[in-house]
Structure 1
């Protein structure tokens, strides 16, 4: 989906936006994506003196725009709302001089420099590219999931677990991530129900044993959650046994979906190396296999998936870009 035809490029300086210049299409650095990694990369690239463009997409801010209170991002003693954190990062990047366009990249050409990034209305060129398109958690697609997202339904136990103290919780999934999250949540919950479609876990043996020996964890085998109910917040989940078709309702205060993530890399197939799950394969640090093309954040990070680590990767990618552009200044 493209933005309106003729979308303006907002040039910025330390005082904020200038008059739009629709003709500017060539930059030193193009950053695709505007979550914590993209905005941080913009801050560092612009501060280093590079003419930097962020293509943020139509709904900039990444997963944090759907997050309520963020307690674990350093510097905010009383926490901060996810959308507010993203707005502040955006303004800071603009203050450093970054051009930000709320448009979607629909095609790229990394075969040779200058690299090309196309939106529905314009073609942009740059000497280096940072991919910061992130990843989205896989969803169950059941009744109540969207309605209670952020109101009991979560996709990150590390992020949201402390908000669910003294409640019974559900974790959906059977892999390492699901069992790790279930074990983590026992620090706060009175009981954690692990709902898995099979009769055995896919998690590593060590993690399985740890969970099996935890008296707070209860397993529901050959089962799936088919519906989530509640008033203002989630209060119940309906489980179905896939062998007997028997349904039962359990009262819980939260549900954590841990069935994997989908990196937003469809655009980069046949352009750079991706692994079997679609994550960007890094050659060295933040470098992809294409010289001058870098990656930052959840688009390659399958392990941490935190705002602070994404921002860290954005910083690293920008520093790597600086080194690359300096070394190739005469090319």
Structure 2
């Protein structure tokens, strides 16, 4: 069958593929490039607003990406993902702009169904790479949509060095280790960092909590929540905050707000069939992308709750491709023998 790009296989024709990739971020496309160059003819389902994101994942919602190697002047997130996609297509990846909504990992070849075709005959694959990513949890504050990526971020490492935050007062929401790490990191760039903690104590480990409380450029606002994000229509410049004990509300002038309240991995498709941790992240064999089911690999933020960077996602996508290619080669070799 001739490769289809951005196509849809007619319902009367069901595909069997050596490797199917579910997800279209750096992990998925890197896996696709490696597999396509190895003549595996991968099929990549980029989804249609899957997990709330356009094809390309979280990077499609970011502006300047300055920490991805090879782009010394930075590059817009959507542009970077367009380049990933172009490279996948160049080497022959079959990209399908549909969402995989159901999957059966109980036996190989694995069976899967597209959204809207759950009652039709399944399509099959010898190996599957899950690269569906994760999304930052948001609070749904008034003004949040207006100033998302215009002063509001969920990744200090990704965005902290952006010029609009330099030498400006910043705020972090959260009370765990992630919040402590993000706030400490932001002191390199901001003039001062306020940490909003809903409770009267931190959930962070003792060593991280001590580091946070002793830092001269950090102020912890206990029993405090944000109620509204305000700005000039283009950039954030103020938070309305409230003390949950006294009920007092006031303004907190800041130019940046960073959420550190966790991420939600997009694992609902496979959570009941693959081993996951308590937060829903897919567990992989240490040093590999192999999941608890042979032939199913997980790459990117769907299995990485620590780093969550485009470059680490791309690296794990490479690993998944090499491991899937090796598995298929070994099985084809044994069949020939």
TM-score range, shorter chain: over 0.9
Give the CA deviation at 1:269.
2.2
Q: 1:302 maps to what in 2?
A: 305
Structure 1 residue 278: Cα displacement? 0.4
Q: Structure 1 residues 18, 217: CA separation in 2 closer, same or farther (over 3 Å shift)? A: closer
| Deviation larger for 80-89 or 263-272 | 263-272
Q: Does 1:172 align with 2:173?
A: yes
SS at match of 1:274: coil
Alignment of 1:1-331 (within 5 A): 11=3, 17=5, 22=10, 23=13, 25-58=15-48, 59-122=54-117, 123-163=122-162, 164-231=165-232, 232-284=234-286, 285-329=288-332, 330=334
The gaps in structure 2 that reach 5 residues or longer are 49-53
Tell me the distance in 1 between the aligned counterparts of 2:195 and 2:2. 48
C-alpha distance in structure 1 between counterparts of 2:202 and 2:116, whole Å: 48
Q: Aligned-pair distance for 1:192?
A: 0.3
Question: Cα distance 1:75–1:241, how it changes in 2: closer, same or farther (>3 A)?
Answer: same
The question of whether the paired residues in 1 share the 8 Å contact of 2:275 and 2:283 is answered with: yes
Distance (whole Å) between structure 1 residues aligned to residue 222 and residue 158 of structure 2: 26
Question: Deviations for 1:175-232, whole angstroms, at most 9, x for unmatched residues?
Answer: 0000100000000111100001011111111111111111110111011101001111
Preserved CA contact (<8 Å) 1:57 1:105: yes
Could you tell me how far 1:146 is from its partner in structure 2? 1.4
CA–CA distance in structure 2, aligned partners of residues 144 and 171 of structure 1: 16
CA–CA separation in structure 1 for the residues paired with 2:265 and 2:2: 28
Is the CA contact 1:11–1:18 (under 8 Å) kept in the aligned structure 2? no
Which has the higher mean CA deviation after the structures are superposed, 237-246 or 205-214? 205-214
> Is contact 2:6–2:95 with CA below 8 Å preserved after alignment?
no
| Cα pair 1:10 1:20 within 8 Å, conserved | no
Q: Any unmatched runs of 5+ in structure 1?
A: 1-8
Please state how far the C-alpha of 1:19 moved relative to its aligned partner.
8.3
Q: C-alpha separation between the residues in 2 aligned to 1:48 and 1:41?
A: 11
Displacement after TM superposition at 1:124 (Å): 2.3
When the two structures are aligned, how many residues end up with a matched partner?
319
Aligned to 1:3: none
CA RMSD of aligned residues (A): 1.6
* Cα contact 1:11–1:21 (8 A) shared by 2: no
Shift of 1:308: 0.3
Shift of residue 11 of structure 1? 2.4
- What TM-score does the superposition give when structure 1 sets the normalisation length? 0.93
SS at match of 2:317: helix
SS at match of 1:118: strand
CA 1:126/1:19 → structure 2, altered by over 3 Å: closer, same or farther? closer
